[in-house]
Amino acid sequence: MPSSPQHPAPAPGQSPDADAEDFALYREKFRSRLPPSLQQLRGPAHGVVDLPLHMAWSGMTSYDLGKPRRRMGLYRTVLHEGLRDDLPRCLTQDLLLELWPVLRTLVGRTVRTVWEDAFPRLASRTRAAA
């Protein structure tokens, strides 16, 4: 698998077992942030969302939900960088379900897999959109 932010390159001389352990830890990082249910995602559906620095450390901090590209960028950023308490505050179930068929192609494989495994409804949205 090529190196990327979602799949860091192994350290030189690292064994395949260490790679598997790193990958498992990476998956667990995202799994531990998941809300218990999609219904708990009760963030804003309109207006402007300002992200704190721990999520918006590499760029944009303010997202207008009325602009489709900005809305998609917000969801991508929150899924990758948000902590457990950030997800319900920044995301809303209805928008996540609406955006998922495209959003799933913009997030890393690990994020996509963790969310679809935890919430089969997301995976079914993808099949319905196909």
- pLDDT grade, residue 25 (50/70/90)? confident
Q: Rounded to an integer, what distance in angstroms lies between the CA atom of residue 61 and that of residue 29?
A: 23
Phi, then psi, of 63 in degrees rounded to 5: -130, 125
Q: Rounded to an integer, what distance in angstroms lies between the CA atom of residue 124 and that of residue 130?
A: 10
Exposure letters 6-36 (e unless 16+ CB within 10 A, then b): ebeeeeeeeeeeebeeeeeebeeebeebbbe
Indicate the pTM of the whole model.
Answer: 0.79
> What are the pLDDT digits (tens) for 71-118?
999 999 999 999 999 999 999 999 999 999 999 999 999 999 999 999
